[in-house]
Amino acid sequence: MTSPASEITAEAIRFIEGTTYADLSEEALAIGRRCMVDTVGLYLAGSREASVRILIEDALAQGGREDAPLPGNGAGKVPAPLAARVWGTAGHAHDWDDTQVSHDPAHVYGLLTHPSVPPLTAALVVASQKGGVSGRDLMLAFQLGFEVECKISEWMLPRHYRRGHHSSGTVGTFGATVAAAKLLGLSGDRLAHALGIAASLAAGIRVNFGTMTKPLHVGRACENGVTAALLAARGFEADPSALDGQWGFFAVMGEGFDGEKARQGFGKPLTIASPGVSIKPYPSGILTHQSMDAMLRLVTDHDLKAEEVEKISFFAGKNIIEPIRYPIARNHLQAKFSMPALLAMIVLCRRASHHEFEDAFVAGEAMQDLQARTEVINDPDIDARGYDKIRSRIEVTTKDGRKLVQWADERYRGGPSNPISDADLDGKFRMCAEGVLDGAPQHELLGLVRGIDRGADVGRLVALISGEATGRA
């Protein structure tokens, strides 16, 4: 599809410059607070991942200006872009962060971004660098970055994802850039240049799914977004319409965009409110969750034990099978993109939290044996029904000859039509915080995030996430 003539960059600039906190609906604010609770918990859980510890060591070794602290690491501070790299990678380290929703039946699920980590990371890091940022200003910057990121992703053609780009790394760069630019007060040419710099820095390819580099895509999106805004603030220049034209972001990265969708414009309505955002129940690729819920239902309904299972047959379309690509996972990162591993985990543990995603467990005898007895089958009938829903079927053959069948519920648990309750969201936050921030500080942090735009102390919030406020080294 050839891109129609457009002025999307200019429209984005008008939206960023002209939108105020008062323009945000109460629905958008309420959902934004939920997304922040979810993301802050993930910073804490991610801070203990091996990949993030390597990035922390690297950032501290590089040194430099003491702009911002690092999650779960105490008082040490590093330059803002390095801090953003670490925070962003921590937020995506478990692949448990939220996902934008689309109602377009032709849209490819993988083209949707994980929208909260880039703008929230950039906003928190720049707020730490600047000091004196209010919770309302932070919320506005977050919402603007979230919206621009999601609309770019929604308007992109599926070719972007199908050719191997990772949208959360590419499009996420714009979410981080917008949030950082808003808090830095960029407007006009400097805001346009920030978006132009971001367009050239955006990167991330799907070959690295199932490795440490997959969450680094989001970390780099955050780092690059902060870098783009800081450079533009100093007068660094780029093409002022980098989303548009023959060599613009849409054309080069996705061979165009959907002109009819783009005519809707930014903020009409805000994506965070409609069609909404999904908060993940499991720390794995979003395409896996309905199937995991189906297996959990099958296991509990039949009180199925692992030792009773002869074989598991998983039937799905290409929209699941192609990206969820590991036939047998050897470590916890591969397990996030392996249906045999995820189904085996549910059978063995009857849950799948970040506590189950450990290398020793995934590589253990029980998981390896059950994965080897699980076959993944591309079902042409499921493909023929289209990709507007994530459809799959599980058939378990037991050693005593029974065949147990369970279709996945097409309503996504965690999505707008079947949302996670506030109580369950708080439970996820506490599970993520466990062992990193406990007791009174954990309770205080949750309260600060839930009231972020109602007078919360942003500096205190950052200090609690980093561990500076609790004296952790």
SS3 at position 180: helix
296 within a domain of the structure (yes/no) = yes
pLDDT (tens digit per residue) in 197-244: 999 999 999 999 989 999 999 999 999 999 999 999 999 999 999 999
Q: Is 294 found in the same domain as 275? A: no
Instruction: Lowest mean pLDDT of 74-78, 117-121, 352-356, name the range.
Output: 352-356
413 within a domain of the structure (yes/no) = no
End-to-end Cα, the chain, rounded Å: 54
HSE value, Cβ hemisphere, 13 Å, CA-based, for 187: 6
Give yes or no for residue 2 having a pLDDT over 50: no
2 within a domain of the structure (yes/no) = no
Q: How far apart are CA 216 and CA 212, in angstroms?
A: 7
Strands 309-316, 374-378: pairing is parallel
Q: Is 271 found in the same domain as 292? A: no
Q: How far apart are CA 7 and CA 262, in angstroms?
A: 10
**Residue type at 312 in one-letter notation:** I
Q: Is 275 found in the same domain as 319? A: no
More confident residue, 349 or 389: 349
257 within a domain of the structure (yes/no) = yes
Number of structural domains, the chain? 2
Q: Which two tokens stand for residue 465?
A: 């996430």
319 within a domain of the structure (yes/no) = yes
Q: Is 269 found in the same domain as 290? A: no
Give the pLDDT band of residue 417 (cuts 50, 70, 90): confident
- 405, β-bridge pairs: 395
Q: For the chain, percent helix, then strand, then coil, each to nearest 5?
A: 55, 10, 35
Give yes or no for residue 448 having a pLDDT over 90: yes
Element (H or E) spanning 69, and its range? Answer: strand 68-69
Q: Is 323 found in the same domain as 235? A: no
CATH number for the domain that contains residue 147 = 1.10.4100.10
pLDDT value at residue 3: 47
pLDDT (tens digit per residue) in 235-292: 999 999 999 999 999 999 999 999 999 999 999 999 999 999 999 999 998 889 999 9
Q: Which pTM does this prediction carry?
A: 0.90
Q: Is 388 found in the same domain as 452? A: no
Q: Is 388 found in the same domain as 261? A: no
Give yes or no for residue 111 having a pLDDT over 90: no
Q: Is 292 found in the same domain as 273? A: no
**Residue type at 9 in one-letter notation:** T
Q: Which long-range contacts (CB under 8 A, 24 or more apart) does 353-356 make?
A: 353/282, 353/283, 353/431, 354/45, 354/94, 354/96, 354/283, 354/431, 354/432, 355/431
Q: How far apart are CA 275 and CA 376, in angstroms?
A: 31
Q: Is 68 found in the same domain as 208? A: yes
Q: Which two tokens stand for residue 88?
A: 């962003």
pLDDT value at residue 215: 96
Give yes or no for residue 440 having a pLDDT over 90: yes
pLDDT value at residue 4: 53
Render 91-113 in DSSP notation, one character per residue: HHTTS-S-EE----TTS-GGGS-
Q: Which of 371, 392, 407 is the last residue of a domain?
A: 407
- The whole-number average pLDDT for the span 95-110 is 83
Q: Is 119 found in the same domain as 68? A: yes
Domain ranges, residue 331? 286-407
Beta-carbon contacts of residue 158 (< 8 Å; ≥ 6 apart): 106, 107, 108, 111, 254
Q: Is 309 found in the same domain as 437? A: no
Q: Which of 356, 372, 407 is the last residue of a domain?
A: 407
Q: Is 305 found in the same domain as 176? A: no
- The whole-number average pLDDT for the span 456-467 is 97
Please state whether 406 falls in left (phi above 0), alpha (psi between -120 and 50) or beta.
beta
418 within a domain of the structure (yes/no) = no
CATH number for the domain that contains residue 345 = 3.30.1330.120
How distant, in Å, are the alpha carbons of 90, 266, 316, 417, 448 from that of 276?
Answer: 24, 14, 25, 9, 23
Alpha carbon 283 to its chain's center: 10
HSE value, Cβ hemisphere, 13 Å, CA-based, for 322: 13
**Residue type at 76 in one-letter notation:** G
